[in-house]
Structure 1
C-alpha cells in the first residue's frame, strides 16, 4: 500500500488493487469526517482519473468528507457491462463502509459511463426499511429509517458527462457526426469494441427477452431499487459539455430533448468561467410528459422513455463549455480534470461541484 501527503494537508493511500482513499491529514478533521464520497471512473479509466478532484474536495471540506476512488472497474474491466460493473461497485462500497464505522452519509461523483454504473450500484445498495433482510448485519444495523444507501444517508448523486439516455443515434455520440448511416453501423459493431458495455450504451442488449438494461433502470426491478435509490438522494446533478465532447453528447448527458437545450452563448461567469448555464428542473409525472411527442424533438421512442423516466425526479443541470480552450477537443476529460497538467482548465468545474456540495 502506497501512502502520500499533499501539501501537508491531504493524506492518501493507494492500495495494491488500485483503489485510492483521500482524507485530511489533521487528526481532528479526519475523526469528524463522516461523509463518504465515492468517485467512479469512466470507460477504460482508473481510480487516478479522479486524483485532482479527490484532493481538492478534501482540501476544501477537510472535516466533512472521506473520499474513496473506486478501483473495481478499471481499464478493460469497464467493458464487462453496466450491470456487472454495478455489482462490483456495490460490493466495494460495502467494504469501505464496513472498515469506516463512523460514516453516516454517502455521495457519488461519477464520470461518463461511471454514472450509469453508479446508478446500478445504488439500486443494489438501497434498503427501503430496517426489516429488510440484509446479509451483512453490520450494515443492516445502520438502517434506522427507510431510504438508505448501504445504511448511510444519501446526499449528492453527481454525474459528469454521463450518457443517461444511451449513445445510439440522434447525435448522442458526436464523433459519428450525426450521420444516420454511421450511427446505424455503430449500433451493429459497437459490441466488437466495447463488448457488453457497448450493447448497454447503444440499447441493443435486450437479453432473454428483457428490455434494454437502461430501460429497466428507470424502474425498480426485483431486488434492484433503481429509481427509489436515485430518489432518496437529496440532490441529483448532471454536469454536461455543451460541445467538443466527442464521446458523450450534450442531450444525453443533460437528460434533455433537443428543444430543451438552452441558449448559452455569450454567458460570462466570473467565478466559474466554464459554467455557462445552470438549471433546476422539477420532477414531473407521466401525464405532463405526454405533451412532448417523439416527432417534435427528434428522439426515438426508447430514448424518450428513458428521458421521461429520469425526469420524474428533480435534477440540477450544469452546462459547461470549453469552446475557448486550446484543449477543447478533450472536453470529455477536461470536465473531470483527468490529468492535472493537461486538463487543469476544468478546475473551476470541480470547484463548482464542491461549493454546491451538501455535507
Structure 2
C-alpha cells in the first residue's frame, strides 16, 4: 500500500530535467506548492562513447520510488569521443562537475555514484579527487569546568563535503582489459590479447589505461595506482568511506567486459551458478553475494621501485588491494533472451527499446537503495 502511494505521489508531481550550459542533466521531481529540498545526490556516469541519455531509464525508475529525496545527475561532461581522453582527465572533469551540481542544491547531505562500464573507473578516479577528511571538533577555550572532558568527534570522511553512501558499478572493468580473458571477444586467444594491447592507442589515452599500457613514464599504470592512495589523490580511502560498494557483473555474453574483471574476482573464485534466478522478481539475477573482506596480505610491492611493475602480476595486485574492502557482488545472466548478445548494454538498459530485459537488474539496484 505504501509503495503504491509513493508511485501515485510521483505521478502527481512533475519530473523536471534541468540542463546547464555544459549539457549536464539533473532529474528531480517537483510537487505543486512545495519547495523541493532533496538530500541525496546520485551521480550516474556513462561508459565508452556513451552519453547522459544512457542512464535515462534508470534515473526515472529511481525517482519513481524516491521522488522527494533524490537529485539524479546524469553526467554529460564525458560523452562520445571525449571518453577517449583518459580515465584521469575524465575523472577530473567529473569531480569538477559534481562540485558544480552540489552548489545548485544547498539541501544535499549525501552522495552516491552509479557507473556503467568505463564510467565506474571514471567515478573511482573522481572520488579520489573529491575525498575530504573533516577536522575534529575543537574543545571550547573558555570552559568553566576544566575538569569536565568534552567528547571530541572523530574526523569524518566526506566526498565533496557530503556523506558517501553507495558506490555502484555495472559491467565495469575494475582490473582493466589486458589479457587473462578479460575481454571475452578475444576468446582467450593470447595472440589477440597481445595484439589488442599493442593497438590500445586506437582508443586514445583511455585505451592505454584500460590495457595497462601507460607505464612508459616510469610510473605504474594508472589503474594499478588507483588501488592505493597517492599524495593528493586518496583513491582507496575514498572508496573505503562509502557505506556500501556493489558490483553488478554479466556472467556471459558480455563481449567487452569479462565476468572476472567486473566482479573483482580471480577466475578460480567465480562461483558455480544455480539454474534459474535467486528471486522470481529479478529473473536475470543468478547470484548475490554478501560483502566479504579479504585478508590483508603483507607482500613485497615491487612496482614501487623504478620499473619493477613490468615484471609484476598487476591483476593480482589490483584484486588483492580492492578486495581488502568489502564488496557486494550481483551476478547477472541474460541467457535465454534475445538480448543476451547485447548484455553489456542490457545490464544498464542503455536503450529501453532494445535493452528492456535489464529492467529487473535496475529494479534490483533501486530496491536495495535507501535514500
TM-score normalized by structure 2? 0.86
Q: Which has the larger radius of gyration?
A: 2
CA shift digits 1:207-233 (9 cap, x unpaired): 421101011111110110100000000
Query: 2-side partners of 1:210 and 1:218: how far apart?
Result: 14
- 1:112-123 equivalent positions in 2, closer than 5 A: 112-123=117-128
The residue number in structure 1 matching 2:357 is: 345
CA shift digits 1:19-72 (9 cap, x unpaired): 211111225887242000000000000000000000110011112111000111
Q: Does 1:327 align with 2:339?
A: yes
Give the counterpart of 2:190 among 180, 185, 209.
180
Root-mean-square deviation (CA, aligned residues, Å) is 2.0
CA shift digits 1:232-270 (9 cap, x unpaired): 000000000000000100000000011111112403330
The residue number in structure 1 matching 2:4 is: none
Q: How many residues align?
A: 333
- Determine helix, strand or coil for the equivalent of 1:158: strand
- Determine helix, strand or coil for the equivalent of 1:286: coil
Which residues of structure 1 form unaligned runs of 5+? Answer: 132-143, 291-299
Query: 2-side partners of 1:127 and 1:207: how far apart?
Result: 31
Aligned in 2, Cα 1:312/1:112: closer, same or farther, shift over 3 Å? same
Maintained 8 Å contact 2:88/2:125: yes
Moved beyond 6 Å, runs of 4+: none
Q: Does 1:314 align with 2:323?
A: no
Aligned in 2, Cα 1:66/1:189: closer, same or farther, shift over 3 Å? same
Query: 2-side partners of 1:223 and 1:35: how far apart?
Result: 26
The residue number in structure 2 matching 1:153 is: 163
Give the counterpart of 1:250 among 259, 263, 267.
259
- 1:227-306 equivalent positions in 2, closer than 5 A: 227-268=236-277, 269-287=279-297, 301-306=313-318
Q: Give the Å deviation of 1:9.
A: 4.3
Q: Give the Å deviation of 1:309.
A: 0.6
- 1:194-213 equivalent positions in 2, closer than 5 A: 194-213=203-222
The residue number in structure 1 matching 2:94 is: 89
Q: Does 1:190 align with 2:195?
A: no
Maintained 8 Å contact 1:30/1:63: no
Q: Does 1:355 align with 2:363?
A: no
TM-score normalized by structure 1? 0.89
Query: 1-side partners of 2:61 and 2:33: how far apart?
Result: 19
Query: 1-side partners of 2:52 and 2:34: how far apart?
Result: 24
Aligned in 2, Cα 1:31/1:289: closer, same or farther, shift over 3 Å? farther
